[in-house]
Amino acid sequence: MSINFGSIIAKPKITITSNPFLVSSPLLFFSNKTKTKPSILTAFSSMSYDKELAAAKKAASLAARLCQKVQKAILQSDVQSKSDKSPVTVADYGSQALVSYVLQRELPSELFSLVAEEDSEDLCKDAAQETLERITKLVNDILASDGSYSDSILSTDDVVKAIDCGKSEGGSQGRHWVLDPIDGTKGFLRGDQYAIALALLDEGTVVLGVLACPNLPLTSIAGGGSHHSLPGEVGCLFFSVAGGGTYMHSLDSSSAVKVQVSSIDNPEEASFFESYEAAHSMHDLSSSIAKKLGVKAPPVRIDSQAKYGALSRGDGVIYLRFPHKGYREKIWDHAAGYIVVAEAGGVVTDAAGNPLDFSKGRYLDLDTGIIVTNQKLMPSLLKAVRESIEEKVSSL
């Protein structure tokens, strides 16, 4: 059965898609008309996101299954080259189509807004027709294997429409899902770390996050442990809801354990994460900060928001990310990881100590970079960051 993904209702900075899979049921929004608003934490922690969490976990888990299948047998033709020359794979597109479709099928609302990384522009070119057909087959195979959607066989047009549901601009009003279908594409292509990162914004605030990390070991990667795939020992799913803490379970199991960030307060005992790719973060600045703090352990360099997941369970203590000048952070690169760490007791700010603001659209406007640690170490980390940045600027 071919699925009609419905019409797009235009609104300023918001793309809302009518959900054809469910009967009429209005989407509830917070009211901004009250003169006295409750605190954000109180307002959101008092709400139930049970249905949304269940849908998000299912969508991310199915997307992880698709990505695992592709990674095991990457073909040269699976890699497209976007205009910015970064690699995009069959799994990127398939993951986004799958998450978009599953969320619309699972949630009791006519309205659907998704802010996501990919669009179908390159995929709709004549040269990519074979790739599009492969993506469609993969998505249908995963849906069939789940058994929940036996009535659904998606066409190539359905897959394109599902991908392009991700064109929403987000913002401070209403609810918006935020998706990176494969965070860490280069890691994925190398056979290393990547994540399917899905979050929910409600009135501009991240209220729910799910991180599926198919190659992350179930045990700690602290102490220089391997972060590569080990059959039978890898595959984690982290999930958080505002006010509810952070939990982790195996991708193959639903038995969850609550996780907490490290309580280490001595910088000499701390370890820190940074991006694997030097192009993604200034390693020299991170090294200077670590030296000022007195960190003795070498950096642990891994791809993707898997770093947030590992940090949330105490594998490391600090995460430093300082993109090169001119780069603008996208909300899908941090939304899910942000709440996973915050609900595990961590603190996530920009380099000046400001909280991250996900309400401004598709981009994060922040000062210099992103730093993550526990509450005990944040003051000294901020001091080291400020001093290192000042030194770097004065040396130019």
Q: Identify the pLDDT of residue 274.
A: 85
- More confidently predicted of 184 and 88: 184
pLDDT exceeds cutoff 70 at 11: no
Q: Identify the pLDDT of residue 368.
A: 87
- Which stretch of 9-13, 167-171, 216-220 has the lowest confidence by average pLDDT? 9-13
- Tell me the average pLDDT of the chain: 85
pLDDT in tens, 278-331: 555 577 899 899 999 999 999 888 989 999 999 999 999 999 999 888 889 999
C-alpha distance across the termini of the chain, in Å: 62
Percentage of the chain exceeding pLDDT 70 = 81
Q: How far is CA 60 from CA 35, 49, 53, 195, 267, in A?
A: 38, 16, 10, 9, 35
Percentage of the chain exceeding pLDDT 90 = 66
pLDDT exceeds cutoff 70 at 357: yes
* Contact between residue 214 and residue 150 where contact means Cβ atoms under 8 Å apart: no
pLDDT in tens, 225-256: 444 444 458 999 999 999 999 999 999 988 99
Residue of 15, 89, 92, 136 with catalytic role: 92
* Contact between residue 116 and residue 100 where contact means Cβ atoms under 8 Å apart: yes
pLDDT in tens, 20-79: 333 333 223 223 333 333 344 445 654 799 999 999 999 999 999 999 999 887 755 677
Given pLDDT bands bounded at 50, 70 and 90, which one contains residue 150?
confident
Q: Identify the pLDDT of residue 79.
A: 72
pLDDT in tens, 196-208: 999 999 999 999 9
pLDDT exceeds cutoff 60 at 14: no
> Is 92 noted as a catalytic residue in this protein?
yes
Q: Give the residue among 337, 327, 355, 329 at the shortest CA–CA distance from 40.
A: 355
* Eight-class DSSP state of 138: H
Q: Identify the pLDDT of residue 222.
A: 82
Residue 376: other Cβ atoms inside 10 A: 16
* Contact between residue 337 and residue 209 where contact means Cβ atoms under 8 Å apart: yes
pLDDT exceeds cutoff 90 at 351: yes
pLDDT exceeds cutoff 60 at 212: yes
> Is 185 noted as a catalytic residue in this protein?
yes
Q: Identify the pLDDT of residue 367.
A: 85
CA 296 to mean position of chain CA atoms: 30
Residue of 17, 131, 136, 185 with catalytic role: 185
CA pair distance 239, 253, nearest whole angstrom: 14
285: alpha, beta or left, given left = phi > 0 and alpha = psi -120 to 50? alpha
Q: Identify the pLDDT of residue 72.
A: 83
Give the helix/strand (H/E) hosting 328: none
Given pLDDT bands bounded at 50, 70 and 90, which one contains residue 215?
very high
* Eight-class DSSP state of 196: E
Q: What is the DSSP string of 301-326?
A: EE-STHHHHHHHTTS-SEEEE-PPTT
